[in-house]
Amino acid sequence: MESKKYKVGYTTGVFDMFHIGHLNLLKNAKLFCDQLIVGVSTDELVKQYKNKNTIIPFEERFSIVESINYVNKVVPQNTMEKLKAWETLHFDVMFVGDDWKGTRKWLKFEEQFKELGVEIIYLPYSKQTSSTMLRELITKELVSK
């Protein structure tokens, strides 16, 4: 990891069924920047791009993330267009899980943000716990009853 310190960092997520992987992402991101802004995906956006409903409603997920000490500001994420977020928030670094590194989508973001002087830092993705895994366990438990 780089030791460079950034002024404003930005990351996004659904943060459904908040778990240790979410906390680690926020904690690690804050190590790099003075201010950490977090975009929490709205229920409508999650339905649109993941084609599923959240378990925890947006307002509650927003409140949970807002209460985390590492987070300076929380904003609703209404669109997947990261450049629109930059136009409003003017961050100089963006954090994303390393499970996205090398994907076509994020290689394109890297190019776009490089022109703006914004770096993208990939942080370790939590493989031991994920909201998808928790959802599958809950579903399996409900089906078996």
CA distance 65 to 38: 8
- Answer yes or no: are the C-beta atoms of 33 and 69 closer than 8 Å: no
* Per-residue CA distances from 40 to 95, 101, 111, 137 (Å): 14, 21, 24, 24
Known active-site residue 7: no
Instruction: State the Cα torsion 128-122-41-32 to the nearest 10°.
Output: 110
Domains along the chain with CATH numbers: 6-143 (3.40.50.620)
Among residues 5, 7, 47, 52, the one annotated as catalytic is 52
pLDDT truncated to tens, each residue of the chain (145 aa)?
A: 444 589 999 999 999 989 898 999 999 999 999 999 999 999 999 999 889 899 999 999 999 999 999 999 999 999 999 999 999 999 999 999 998 999 999 999 999 999 999 999 999 877 666 666 666 666 666 666 6
Known active-site residue 52: yes
Instruction: State the Cα torsion 133-74-27-61 to the nearest 10°.
Output: -30
pLDDT for 137: 66
pLDDT for 1: 46
Among residues 4, 47, 50, 108, the one annotated as catalytic is 50
- Which H helix or E strand runs over 13? strand 6-13
| Half-sphere exposure in the Cβ direction for 60 (13 Å, CA) | 7
